[in-house]
Amino acid sequence: MTADQAGAANPGRDEHARLVAEIEAASDAYYRDGSSPLSDAEYDALLSDLRALEEQFPALVTPDSPTQRVMGKAYTDFAAYDHLQRMESLDNAFSEEELSAWFDRVLRETGTTPELLCELKVDGLAINLLYEDGRLTRALTRGDGATGEDVTPNVSTIDSVPRRLTGTKEFPVPALVEVRGEVYLPTAVFEEINEQQAAAGKPLYANARNTAAGSLRQKDPRVTASRRLTMVCHGIGAREGFEPKAQSQGYAALAAWGLPVSEKVRVLGSVEEVRGYIDFYGEHRHDTAILDHEIDGVVVKVDDVRLQRALGSTSRAPRWAIAFKYPPEEVHAKLKAIEVNTGRTGRVTPFGVMEPTKVAGSTVEMATLHNFHEVARKDVRPGDTVILRKAGDVIPEILGPVLALRPDDLPAWVPPTTCPACGTELVEQREGDKDRRCPNHRDCRAQVVERINHVAGRGSFDIEGLGAEAAIALHESGAVANEGDVFDLTADKLLATPLFTRAAKRSEVEAGAGERVLTANAEKLLANLADRKDVPLWRVLVGLSIRHVGPTAARALAGHFASMDAIRAASQEELAAIDGVGGVIADAVIEWFGVDWHVEIVDKWAAAGVSMEDERDGSIEQTLEGLTVVVTGGLDGFTRDSVKEAIIARGGKAAGSVSKKTDYVVVGENAGSKAAKAEELGLRILDEAEFVKLLDGGTAAMD
C-alpha cells in the first residue's frame, strides 16, 4: 500500500502525528530542564485538538497517545510561600581587578585583615529548607528571593537531605532554622542519564544544571527520586536558638545536625591564599577525581559574623561576600564545515559546524565566526581542530585553529559569492566593509522572514505567537509578503497557512465550518496583533529594521520628534544633532526612508492602525531633567524596557555604562560589575525603593 493509500485509509493520521509530536516535545522539554516551548494555554489547546481529532477518528487512539496517559499540563503550579528571611543574591567579580576592589573595600571598611571563607560555587538550583523542632516542614526554591515554590515532596526524595536533624552537645538542634543550599546532579549521574538517553535513541540533555532543575519540578516525586539528586549546604537564614560567631561555625553546626556540607570549604588568612584556592579549582573544575559536580566559580565570604554585620548588605546582596566567576571556558573541537546564513539586514554570517563538543557545561555543535574577514584573519578551515569558547558562558565562538593539529594540505575555506537564500551576488555595503551582504533586501526570502520575526521580537512590538516558525509559515503560504503585511493578517489569511489550522470537529462541520478551522494559537495571534498596534513610537522604529537603529537610538529619535512624520521629514543635520543618534545613524535613517518600498511598510502599518506618534504627557513632571541614571540588575516593579521609559519620560538619560558623569546607579537583583564600578567611583547608589522616590521627586527627594 502506498503512503497516499495509507493516508486515505487512516484519515486524520498526519494531523494526529503532528499534534502528538508537538505535545510530547513540549512535555520532554519540561521534564528535561524545567522549561517548555509552549505556554500552559497553548499546551491545553493542542491536547484539546488531539482529543477532538480522536473523537472524530477513533481508530487513531492508541494506548500511548497523550490523551490516554496522565500527563497533565506542561508545568505544575507549585504553591508559593515566603521565605522567613530573604534569600539574597551575590555580587559577581569577573576579573582579578574586580576581586581586588572588593578585597580593598573590605580591608578599608573593617580596618583589619579578616579571615576569609572560600567555597565552590556549585552550578545547581538554590533551595531553602525549613526545619522546625528538627523536622523538615518545608522546602522552597529560591524564586525571587522573597517567595519560593514548595517542592517539599520532591526534596524529601533526596538522600542527602535529612528529614530530621540530629544534635550534639556543642550544637543542639535549634527550635527553627532555614538552611540554604544548592541541589545538583552529580556529573557521573548526568553522564549515565545521557548514556541511557542515547541507548534509547532519545535527545541528550544539554547540561546537568537544567536537568537538575527539571528533576526537582516533577509532578511525581518518584521521578525525582530516580534522578539521584544531591545537595550541599552553604548558609543559614532565619533561626531561633542558634547564633554562630563565624560562617565556618555555622557550617560546623550544619554538619553536626546531619546536613551535607562541602569538604572543599577553607578558611584562609590572606588574599594570596584565596587566589591560590581560586586558581587551583579553576584548573581542576572538570576533574572528576576532585569534584563530583560542575562549578562556575568560587564564593568568598568574610568569616567573622560581627564583621559581616558591620559591612552590611545592599538591597539585594551582602557586602561581605562576593562570587568570583571563572572566565569563559575554552576547549578543542573538530570543525566539520563552515556554513553561512543571511540575516534581516542582508548580512551574511559564517558559522562553524562541529562535532558535538561539551563546553561550559553544555553540548555545542555550532559556533559563530562573525564575518568573512574574521575567517580569513584566523585562517580557520573545515577539518581543523579549533579552539572553542562560550563567550560570556552563553554564545559559542571559534577563536582560531590549533595549527599543530592541522592535517597536511588542508585547503582554505572559500567564501560564497552569492546569497545562500536567493542566489543574489554578495557585495560590500561600503568599501572596506568586513561583512558581505545580500543587496536583495526586498525579495530575499531569508531577510524577509527574519524581518517578520524581528517585528514580533521583545525589543519591538513583542507579539506573542509570531515567532520564527510562524514567520516562515506565513511567508511560505503567501499570507505575508513582507513585514508590511503583518498587521493586515485576517482569519482568512491564516486559514491559508497550515500551521494555524486544524481539522474541524464534527460539530463544527455540521455547523457550517469547513474541513479546516483556526487553531487556538491562530485566534490568539489575531488578538495579540490587534492589541500591539498601540505601542510606543520607539518600538515601531525598532520594528522597521533600520540599520544601526536599536532601542537606544529609537528612544532618542522618538523622544525628540514624537511622530513618524517628523522623523521622515527631518534632515541629516537635525537627526545627527540628537544626543544618542549621531552621524552614522542619521545617515542610515535618511537612506532607509529614501527607499520607496520601505515607506510602503510604514504606510501599510499606519493604515492598519499602528500608532505612529507618541502623545507627550504633560502631566509627567520632568524630575530627572539633566540627570544620567544607570540601572543594573533586575527590579521587581519594572521590566528592562519600562525602567528606561520611566527615566526618559521624566527627562533623564538612561545610560548603559557607569562613568564619572553618572548621577545615580540603581542596583537590582543579579547586578554585575556596574555596581562595583559605581562603588569604586563613589557614585550615589540607589535600591529600588529609593529609585521610585527619585522618579517621583527628583534630587530634592534624595536629600
Q: How many CA atoms lie within 13 A of 620 on its CB side?
A: 15
Looking at residue 700, the DSSP 8-state letter turns out to be G
267 closest CA partner among 250, 285, 247: 247
- DSSP-assigned beta bridge partners for residue 367: 352
The pLDDT of residue 61 is 75
Query: Tell me, what's the pLDDT at 203?
Result: 60
Rg of the chain in Å (alpha carbons)? 29
Cell numbers placing 539: 518600538
pLDDT digits (tens, 9 = 90+) for 40-61: 446 656 776 887 787 788 777 7
pLDDT at 328: 67
State the cell numbers at 75: 508545568
Alpha helices, DSSP H, located in 608-671: 640-649
Q: Fill in the DSSP letter of residue 90.
A: -
pLDDT at 33: 43
- Strand-pair category, 321-325 with 92-93: parallel
- DSSP-based three-state secondary structure for 234: strand
Contact status, residue 43 vs residue 36, Cβ threshold 8 Å: yes
Integer Cα distance of 653 and 655 in angstroms? 6
**What pLDDT score does 43 carry?**
62
How confident is the model at residue 237, as a pLDDT? 94
- Catalytic residue annotation: 121
**CA–CA distance, 132 with 390 (Å, rounded to integer):** 44
| Dihedral pair phi/psi, residue 327, rounded to 5° | -65, 165
| Model pLDDT, residue 40 | 46
Helix axes 640-649, 551-561, angle to 10 degrees: 30
C-alpha cell at 495: 486559514
Q: Which stretch of DSSP H or E encloses residue 191?
A: helix 187-199
Measured distance CA(165)–CA(163) in Å, rounded: 7
What is the pTM for the complete model shown? 0.55
Regions of the chain where pLDDT drops below 70? 1-11, 26-45, 48, 62-77, 198, 200-206, 315, 328, 360-361, 391-394, 430-433, 616-619, 670-673
pLDDT at residue number 178: 96
- CA dist list (Å): 696 to 641, 646, 692: 18, 10, 6
- Would you say the C-alpha torsion 459, 463, 467, 470 has a positive or negative sign? negative
Q: What is the pLDDT of residue 542?
A: 94
Question: What element of type H or E holds 140?
Answer: strand 135-141
**Res 251: pLDDT:** 96
